[in-house]
Amino acid sequence: MKRKICFRGKLFVYMIMPLLMLIPFGVITGIAFSLDLRVGQTVLVVMLIYAALVIAMYAVNKAVFFQELINFATQYGSVQKELLDEFEVPYALVDANGKMLWVNRRFTGLTEKEKTYHKSVTTIFPTITKELLQKEEVHSVAVVLDDRNYRVLLSRIKLSNLVQGMDMMSIQPEDAADYLTALYLFDETELNRVNIENEEQRLVAGLVYIDNYDEVLESMEDVKKSMLVALVDRRVNKYFAESDALVRKIENDKYFVVFKNRFLPQMEEDKFHLLDDVKTIKVGNEIAVTLSIGLGATASTYAENYEYAHAAIDLALGRGGDQVVVKEGEEITYYGGSSKQVEKNTRVKARVKAHALREMMETHSRIICMGHHLSDPDAFGAAIGVCAAAKEVGKKAQIVLNEITATLRREMESFSPENGYEADLFINSEQALEYADRNTLIMVVDTNRPSYTECPDLLKRGLNIVVFDHHRQGNEVIESPLLSYIEPYASSTCEMIAEVLQYFSENMKLTAEESDAIYAGILVDTNNFLTKTGVRTFEAAAYLKRSGADVTRVRKMMRNDMAAYKERAEILRKAEVYRNAFAISACDSEMVESPTIVGAQAANELLNIIGIKASFVLAEFQNRIFISSRSIDEINVQLIMERLGGGGHVSVAGAQFTDCTIEEAKQRIRDVLDAMIEEGDIKL
């Protein structure tokens, strides 16, 4: 299409002004003719001469103006082009398809491509694709060239905008849809280096605690105690000295460390081998020394990093110790934690918690207790123990139960009005939300995750909360409880409740039904006293026996029906053995009333097979897939379940899925097992 060029705007007015003067000349000529014919003729001749001169000058000067404008534009464009060519920032123009149209000298020197190089920009920068160039907004992309980092700013230039706003002339483009893209390259190598160096120089605060300091020293001769402490000090100082860290011993069993952030990835890569190093210290101690380490990083201030470290060490201790917890803002990472927790011989903590619980109950008019969703005998027994304590101080207590399994139904029959218990002892979530007020104490037992409780909304009301649990803590915790008693070494929450009840009141007496319920919780969680049992477990059982618990009565209460027994046998029959060490099976939920309980029982049974180090039984129930995992001593199933979003103990753990089938859930378990074996977290 041929382009049409013409004057416009102020230049047009300036050029046409002499011609416009002919109008007043015409008026004057008309007046002159009206006055005198000879004068009018004279004026007419002068006007015609003026008109001829003006038209001639316009015709001549138009070409001259155009030529001068072209010369000026050419010189101005040459100056601009020269300036752009000498521009310190590498600059290039490409068309809509990415074809190189023009580059300046800096771009040529950087890419070693001549100005005649008209291939696609993708041949130089593979990350700059045609699809990327088609984006209309200004954006940037990171590229690497000759080991240097560049940020490429892409800016679109529409051809229709080239003449937009010009007053002197207009140009009608052939294709207004065409556009060019300008590329600006900014070398950010040094900036990135400085940022990385600044990040690496940031300090990491850490706290190192000896988990079992008193227990280890009690098992040693006096002359060897100082040697053990010196060896632990040496291992701790030597490990952190490799990271140029500052280590200060703040108490006999506590250290404070500070080191640069650049050493943290190295520690994470070797999975903090200090945990294993201190376990090898043997100078007559019967118990291996274990450490808990909490590290705080990425905070904006040193004080905030120290707070992170405190939160991390609390989490490490709450999870049973022998592990490292790294807190980087909201992100929390765990390392270690494969050892079994050491049972504390002292009951001082239980006595302190008992007195604190009594004071809290006395200052509240109502106690609402709840366990986890689909409560098991441990959660139920612990809740019954809480109700017994509330009754001792004359307070009304209720238990939140939404779904009642077959086992719990048989237990609940003992707590009927005929046996002296209130008719509204058991309530659902809706009733709990209705009854709860500012003078209500919320007791959470057998879980420390708010989403796992029977009524999570109850925890969001800002009420006073008490947590009693024996599971390790995870990332999700109940916020700001008034009292928290979490002991991962305990066999069950019922064991903890039994200990607390012994110190709750001198006149504390349990009924036979209450003793049976608490005893049943211990019995189920320890698999008939086969797992996670210690001296305090049997002492709690002895206390319950003295209070009226009957083993025969509990055994009858825990019996399964024929359908559940057959399904448990079927789970064992169709179990898949994966990697010659893991048993994986599934429960047919339609065949039994309480598939989660049957699955847990079957998981325990699978461990009786020679060569099986861990078992996983899946059960689909209420649109969820529940996983029960068990092990004896070699595999930490809690770490496996945590990777699947669950948690638990070293040897007893579980998880829940809501977005997959049974087969997909099995594959997830296999994938996690493969990954942990490859990473060295599981050793076969």
Using CA atoms, how far residue 484 sits from 226, 437, 473, in Å, is: 34, 21, 11
pLDDT above 60: residue 343: no
Residue 253 lies in a domain: yes
Same domain, 296 and 407: no
Identify whether residues 600 and 542 lie together within a single domain: no
Of 135, 167, 195, the residue that ends a domain is: 195
Going by pLDDT thresholds of 50, 70 and 90, the confidence category of residue 9 is low
| Three-class DSSP category at 400 | strand
Q: Hey, which of 43-52, 318-327, 446-455 has the most confident mean pLDDT? A: 446-455
Decide if 133 is inside a domain. Answer: yes
What's 279's domain CATH number? Answer: 3.30.70.270
Instruction: Rank 30-34, 88-92, 264-268 by mean pLDDT and report only the highest.
Output: 264-268
| Average pLDDT over the chain, rounded to an integer | 84
Same domain, residue pair 666 and 569: yes
Closest CA to 407 of 192, 564, 247, 618: 564
More confident residue, 208 or 162: 208
Under 8 Å between Cβ of 338 and 286:
no
In a domain, 482, yes or no: yes
CATH at 147: 3.30.450.20
Q: Domain total for the chain? A: 5
Q: Which residues contact 664 (CB under 8 A, 6 or more apart)?
A: none
* Residues whose CB falls within 8 Å of the CB of residue 359, separated by 6 or more in sequence, listed in order: none
For residue 684, tell me if it sits in a domain.
Answer: no
* 297 assigned to some structural domain: yes
pLDDT at 26 over 80: no
The closest alpha carbon to 445, from 423, 466, 475, 417, belongs to 466
Please tell me whether residue 110 adopts helix, strand or coil conformation.
helix
Are residue 329 and residue 389 in the same domain, yes or no? no
Residues 493, 615 within the same domain: no
Q: How many CB atoms are located within 10 Å of the residue 516 CB?
A: 25
Q: What is the mean pLDDT of residues 132-147?
A: 77
Pair (516, 382) in one structural domain: yes
**Higher per-residue confidence, 270 vs 532:** 270
| Model confidence pLDDT, tens digit, residues 623-672 | 889 999 999 878 888 889 988 988 877 788 888 888 889 999 999 999 99
End-to-end CA distance of the chain: 78
Does residue 341 lie in a domain region?
no
The pLDDT of residue 423 is above 70: yes
Strand ranges for 252-370 from DSSP E: 254-260, 291-297, 323-328, 331-336, 366-370
Instruction: Return d(Cα 143, Cα 154) in angstroms, integer.
Output: 12
- Specify the pTM: 0.63
Q: Are 199 and 190 in contact (CB under 8 A)?
A: no
Together in a domain, 227 and 270: yes
Query: CA of 184: how far to CAs of 150, 160, 191, in Å?
Result: 10, 22, 17
Per-residue pLDDT reduced to its tens digit, 574-622: 999 999 999 999 998 787 878 888 888 899 999 999 999 999 999 998 8
Instruction: Tell me if 2 is assigned to some domain.
Output: no
Reduce the DSSP state of residue 585 to 3 states and report it: strand
Region 275-294: what's the mean pLDDT?
Answer: 88
- What DSSP letter does each residue of 128-139 carry, written as one string? S-HHHHT--S-E
Cβ contact 253:210 at 8 Å: yes
**Whether 75 and 21 share a structural domain:** yes
Report residue 178's pLDDT band, with 50, 70 and 90 as the boundaries: low
Query: Of 67, 84, 101, which closes a domain?
Result: 84
Q: Which of 151-155, 233-237, 535-539 has the lowest mean pLDDT?
A: 151-155
CATH number at residue 492: 3.90.1640.10
Of the candidates 139, 163, 195, which is a domain's last residue? 195
Q: Are residues 356 and 476 in the same domain?
A: yes
If asked whether residues 362 and 280 sit together in one domain, one would say no
pLDDT at position 60, please?
72
Averaged pLDDT for residues 157-172:
54
The beta strand positions in 104-261, using DSSP E, are 139-145, 148-158, 179-187, 203-210, 246-251, 254-260
Same domain, 366 and 504: yes
What tokens does 369 get?
A: 């207790």
Residue 374 inside a domain? The answer is yes
Instruction: Name the least confident of 236-240, 266-270, 576-580.
Output: 266-270
Tokens of 555: 């055994």
- In single-letter form, the type of residue at position 275 comes to L
Question: Token pair for residue 137?
Answer: 């907004």
Q: Rounded to whole angstroms, how far apart are CA atoms 136 and 157?
A: 9
459 touches 481 (CB < 8 A) = no
Q: Do 516 and 537 reside in the same domain of the chain?
A: yes
pLDDT band of residue 61 (cuts 50, 70, 90) is: confident
Residues above pLDDT 90, as percent of the chain? 33
| CA–CA gap between residue 543 and residue 250 (Å, rounded) | 40
Q: Where are the alpha helices (DSSP H) in 36-86?
A: 37-85
Q: What's the rounded Cα separation, in Å, for the pair 357 and 365?
A: 14
Q: Which of 533, 600, 542 is nearest to 571 (CA)?
A: 600
Cβ of 644: how many Cβ atoms within 10 Å?
20
SS (H, E, C) 16-50: HHHHHCHHHHHHHHHHHHHHCHHHHHHHHHHHHHH
Range of the domain at 38: 9-84
Cα–Cα distances in Å, from 563 out to 310, 568, 586, 597? 50, 9, 15, 13
Q: Is it the case that residue 515 has pLDDT exceeding 90?
A: yes
